[in-house]
Amino acid sequence: MKVRDAYLRTTLLEGKQPNSVFKFTDDLGMPEAEFYTFYSSFDAIENEVFREMMVSTLKTVQDDSQYQAFSAREKLLTFYFAHLEVLVKQRSLVAMKWPELKRRPTTPEWLKGYKEAFLTYARTIVGEAIEGEEIKERRYISDKYDKAFWLQLMFVIDFWIRDTSTEFENTDAAIEKAVNLSFQLLSDSTLDSIVDFAKFLWQSK
């Protein structure tokens, strides 16, 4: 924890990762080799921090007996609100790192553990939603629903980072609207119509 806490403090104070592991450990009065007994890189530290924030959120909601009785839509809403309560403790770090996502076509190393944990959860939500007939199962598409919810999570966090309203009340409203819209699109015929039209355009080329 000493290495991780020192890294986070240095990164947030300087607004970027330290220039090198050597300089970072030298400032700590630690041999460079000792750093590698804990982490392979600075990205590995950040990956651990972000993954723990996701895992902590999931444990909190899943340990709640009331949560277990919720519909899939209610569970996702509960997850978002709980997750922001966790993220706010590291808001400066999240706000510093998030702009990187807009400059990268692939998931950065520091976010991979976080994303993997969320997608596992999202697949559970999708399965429950289909079983409970909250959303429709669609051939070739249903297995992509988890990725759609990942994009929704990215939207929510980006909105939250830019939100200047009191106690992030605008983000709360955005979450409600985003989740309700996604379940509506995945449950009614709107999405089917979009897919059919896309197929028509493709076949008409």
In the numeric block, which tokens belong to residue 53? Answer: 């924030």
Question: Is the pLDDT assigned to residue 113 strictly greater than 70?
Answer: yes
Rounded to an integer, what distance in angstroms lies between the CA atom of residue 167 and that of residue 182? 25
Output the pLDDT for position 30.
Answer: 94
Output the pLDDT for position 40.
Answer: 97
Torsion of CA 83, 88, 92, 93, to 10 degrees: -30
Amino acid identity for residue 27 in this structure: D
Please indicate, yes or no, whether the overall pTM of this predicted structure exceeds 0.85: yes
Question: Is the pLDDT assigned to residue 120 strictly greater than 80?
Answer: yes
Distances (CA, A) of 170 to 75, 98, 146, 159: 20, 19, 25, 9
Rounded to an integer, what distance in angstroms lies between the CA atom of residue 51 and that of residue 18? 21
The total of other beta-carbon atoms located within 10 Å of residue 37's CB is 8
90 CB contacts (<8 Å, ≥6 apart)? Answer: 49, 53
pLDDT per residue as tens digits for the range 18-67: 999 999 999 999 999 999 999 999 999 999 999 999 999 999 999 999 99
Question: Is the pLDDT assigned to residue 201 strictly greater than 60?
Answer: no
pLDDT per residue as tens digits for the range 175-197: 999 999 899 888 875 655 555 54
In contact, 135 and 183? CB cutoff 8 Å: yes
Rounded to an integer, what distance in angstroms lies between the CA atom of residue 205 and that of residue 202? 6
In the numeric block, which tokens belong to residue 140? Answer: 């070739």
Question: Is the pLDDT assigned to residue 165 strictly greater than 90?
Answer: yes
Angle between helix axes 72-87 and 112-131 (nearest 10 degrees) is 160
